[in-house]
Amino acid sequence: MNADLSLITLITEASLLVKFVMLILLATSLYSWMLIFRKRSELALAKQNADSFEDKFWAGNELNRLYEDISARPHTSQGMEGIFEVGFKEFVRLKKTSDDHGLVLEGAQRVMRISLAREIDQLEMSLSFLATAGSTSPYIGLFGTVWGIMNSFRALSNVQQATLAMVAPGISEALIATAMGLFAAIPAVIAYNRYSHEVERLINRYDTFVEEFSSILHRQQI
| Residue 73 domain flag | yes
Q: pTM of whole model > 0.85?
A: no
pLDDT in the model for residue 155: 65
pLDDT in the model for residue 101: 80
Q: What is the 3-state secondary structure (H, E, C) of the chain?
A: CCCCCCHHHHHHCCCHHHHHHHHHHHHHHHHHHHHHHHHHHHHHHHHHHHHHHHHHHCCCCCHHHHHHHHHCCCCCCCHHHHHHHHHHHHHHHHHHHCCCHHHHHHHHHHHHHHHHHHHHHHHHCCHHHHHHHHHHHHHHHHHHHHHHHHHHHHHHHHCCCCCHHHHHHHHHHHHHHHHHHHHHHHHHHHHHHHHHHHHHHHHHHHHHHHHHHHHHHHHHHC
| Residue 2 domain flag | no
pLDDT along the chain (222 residues), means of 10: 56 76 92 96 93 88 85 81 92 85 89 94 92 94 84 67 61 81 94 95 94 87 57
pLDDT in the model for residue 158: 65
| Residue 86 domain flag | yes
| Residue 156 domain flag | yes
| Residue 112 domain flag | yes
| Residue 1 domain flag | no
Range of the domain at 88: 7-221
How many domains, in total, are found in the chain? 1
